[in-house]
Amino acid sequence: MSSNQDQVTFTLRVPVALQEAAKAHAKQEHISLNSLIVRLLEREVAQKGNP
C-alpha cells in the first residue's frame, strides 16, 4: 500500500445496510473497513482497466 503522502481522504455516502454488511465482512477478514474498501476498489479498477 502507498504511504500517507500518496493518499487522499474523501467522504462516501452508502446505505446503512451496506455499511453494516461491509463492516461485518471486514471484521471477518480481520482488516479495517478502510482496507476492505481500498481492496475492493483496487480489484474493480484492475478488472475494468484504468482509462
The model's pTM is 0.78
H-type alpha helices, 1-51 = 16-29, 33-48
The reply to whether 1 falls in a domain is no
With respect to residue 20, please indicate whether it lies within any of the assigned structural domains: yes
pLDDT of the residue at 49: 74
Distance set, CA 8 to CA 3, 12, 15, 24, 26 (Å): 11, 13, 22, 24, 21
Answer whether residue 41 is part of any domain. yes
Q: Is residue 3 part of a domain?
A: no
Residue 50: what pLDDT?
Answer: 63
The confidence score (pLDDT) of residue 39 equals 96
Counted domains in the chain: 1
Domain with 23, as residue range(s), is 13-48
pLDDT in tens, the chain (51 residues): 556 779 999 999 999 999 999 999 999 999 999 999 999 999 999 988 766
Residue with cell 482509462: 51
